[in-house]
A and B are shown apart, each in its own frame.
Chain A
Amino acid sequence: MTVVEVLVRLALVLAAFLVFPLVIGQTEHKVMGHMQARVGPIYAGAFHGWAQLVADGVKFAQKEDVVPAGADRRVFRLAPAIALIPYMVVLIAIPVGSGDLVGRSIDAGVFFVLAVMGVGVLGSLMGGWASANKFSLLGSLRTAAQLMAYELPMLLAGASVAMAAGTLSLTGILGQWEWWWLPWQAVGGVVFFTAGLAELQRPPFDMPVADSEIIFGAYTEYTGLRFALFLLAEYAGILVLCALTTVLFLGGWHGPWSDDLGWLWTLLKTGVLAFVVIWLRVSYPRLREDQLQKLAWTGLIPLALAQLVLTGVVRVAIA
């Protein structure tokens, strides 16, 4: 791999990282609008408000960047970057198409991806702690509790796929994938997706940023661009989660004509999952903090363990 090729791949990953979260965000605006019998943004950019997020970005850039007097300045300023960058790093390891269509194929892919995704939550924790604000602190501690609860089922579900394929590499998993893995790993997929939603603090798991009780959780004190970066991190997180679910559980680039159109299949499946994320947000009310914990510990973890058992049994049976 030459230097130029590496640079091209990184540039492509960066472009995807900058474009797709905005596409998801705009889709959310419009889909949410129509699901609530509204039309969503319609003015910015004239055609169905396509430039709404650009306008939002310009607005955020113009705003004053306030750091509270009692805040831990350096940590406070660093937090948005910590929240955002892990998702970009994860994106490098996600295979888009068959063969070598991946930013960087990593042998311990599943391990790497899940570990780095967990780092993103640190950004919320840092921001919440450094803000010197009770609401922020509460929000960030809820984030931490949620991470503790939901990282486990997510890892177990991921491990199930790795076990089925006999490899930790994401490209390797896709290489092994067969269509009947869909029903076989379905429970794990649901657990993975749900736990991922909770880790991203997306509704209905948005207790850490519950605006009706703790304003905006860890992000309460943030303004301007730093606030925008946190929001961007959320949408980048959706992209990463959906892409990862696609790769691990929905067969990634597998599909008819996957030799030529594999990347399209990945994009399509990711897009459908992103739509589901938005759909869930519109449809369900927020879970209470105790319900959140209960769902993880008494619902998802047993399910993930059952999936592991199933995977193991089937694997031994066919071996």
Chain B
Amino acid sequence: MSRIPGAGLAKGLAVTLKTMTKRSVTQGYPEVLPELPPRSRGVIALFEENCTVCMLCARECPDWCIYIDSHKEVVPAKEPGARDRTRNVLDRFAIDFALCMYCGICVEVCPFDALFWSPEFEYATDDIQALTHEKDTLREWMWTVPAPPPLDERAEEPKELAMARRNAAKLAKELEQEQPQGREPNGPASPGGDA
């Protein structure tokens, strides 16, 4: 390949010498934390308040590493003659990270936005049992989940916000209509508070 004999040998020496003069790529990890991309798949966090125990995540999980226990609670009827309702209460939500293959299907499949990727990754232990994390730990990890990326500048408003605004407008209108007939209002209407 090389025309001058020994050119390849010289090139090898040059490469190593050049590398020596450059900064090394080593990261001083325990002292210096790595700069992870914001959407890193470190661990799966659970936003417990959003979970309805629909079991979709547990069923879709290819590794069967999500354990969910729940019971039903009766919600008494609000009006006389109406039927009592039932509601699912989450008792246990655990992910076995020794089994999890970090595919993220559970995060994708959750219809109620209860599962999120968190970039937190420092949960290695020397006990395989300790890798099964219960819902309180999963809920704690929720605080490490970064905020969702901002929408595009001219994108449509998120549905939740649009709904809240519409409700607030309606309430304000109702209050306005009540004002001339009834007493004076106690204070300015607070729009969007309970939407």
The chain A residues found within 8 Å of chain B, CB to CB, are: 31, 33-39, 42, 279-280, 282-284
Contact = CB atoms under 8 A, between A and B. Distances in A.
Contact of B15 (A39, A42, A280, A283): A283
Contacts of B17: 35, 279
B22 A284 contact: no
Task: In the A-B complex, list the 10 residue pairs whose CB atoms are closest, starting with the nearest.
Answer: A35-B16, A283-B12, A34-B20, A39-B26, A35-B20, A283-B16, A39-B24, A282-B16, A37-B25, A37-B24
Given A39-B26, A284-B9, A34 B15 contact: no
B13 interface: yes
Contacts of A38: 24-26
Given A34-B19, A279-B16, 8 more contacts: A31-B20, A35-B17, A35-B20, A37-B22, A38-B24, A38-B26, A283-B16, A284-B12
A34 B24 contact: yes
A210 to B, nearest CB: 19
Contacts of A33: 24
A264 to B, nearest CB: 24
A130 to B, nearest CB: 37
A42 B24 CA distance: 13
Contacts of A282: 16
Contact of A279 (B13, B25, B28): B13
18 contacts: A31-B20, A33-B24, A34-B24, A36-B16, A36-B19, A37-B19, A37-B25, A37-B26, A38-B24, A39-B24, A42-B28, A279-B16, A279-B17, A282-B16, A283-B12, A283-B16, A284-B9, A284-B12
A31 B19 CA distance: 10
Interface in B1-55: 9, 12-13, 15-17, 19-20, 22, 24-26, 28
A34 B9 CA distance: 20
Nearest to A285: B12
A272 to B, nearest CB: 13
Contacts of B15: 283
A45 B19 CA distance: 25
Contacts of B24: 33-34, 37-39
Contacts of A283: 12-13, 15-16
Interface string B81-100: 00000000000000000000
Contacts of A42: 28
Contacts of A37: 19, 22, 24-26
B170 to A, nearest CB: 64
A282 B19 CA distance: 11
A4 to B, nearest CB: 45
Contacts of A34: 19-20, 24
A280 B16 CA distance: 9
A244 to B, nearest CB: 23
Contacts of B20: 31, 34-35
Interface in B83-120: none
Contact of A35 (B9, B19, B28): B19
A282 B26 CA distance: 18
Contacts of A36: 16, 19
